[in-house]
Amino acid sequence: MGKIFQVVVIGFKGEKLIIDLCNTDEQMQSMTVLQLKEKILQKLPHNAEEESVRLIFTNLMLDGDYELLSKFGIQHMSEIQMVLKVPGGLTA
């Protein structure tokens, strides 16, 4: 069996999730932010939505669901911060 490419996602309270991304370097080079979000959502215990997940890597917001993780320099065992956007707020 080959190498499993993984990232560590760190939540707001410091909890860590190990996310299995793929099995080959070619797959890793074509992995998108959206694909990572989908894999994270599969591991979350509550019904978070894709739009509520915000990911940060080395002080950069991982914007653009179709951007490649490799564009941001994400590699095997990179640590990514996750923040969940909560509904609500003030109304005028």
The pLDDT tens digits for 1-53 are 578 999 999 998 899 999 999 999 999 999 999 999 999 999 886 767 777 88
Q: In what order do the strands lie in the sheet with 5-10?
A: 16-22, 5-10, 79-84, 53-57, 60-61
The pLDDT tens digits for 40-89 are 999 886 767 777 889 999 999 998 999 999 999 999 999 999 998 777 65
C-alpha 58/C-alpha 30 separation (Å) is 20
What is this structure's pTM? 0.86
Q: Kindly tell me if the per-residue pLDDT of 91 is higher than 80.
A: no
What is the per-residue pLDDT for 89?
59
SS3 sequence of the chain: CCCCEEEEEECCCCCEEEEEEECCHHHHHCCEHHHHHHHHHHHCCCCCCHHHEEEEECCEECCCCCCEHHHHCCCCCCEEEEEECCCCCCCC
- Domains of the chain (ranges, CATH numbers): 5-84 (3.10.20.90)
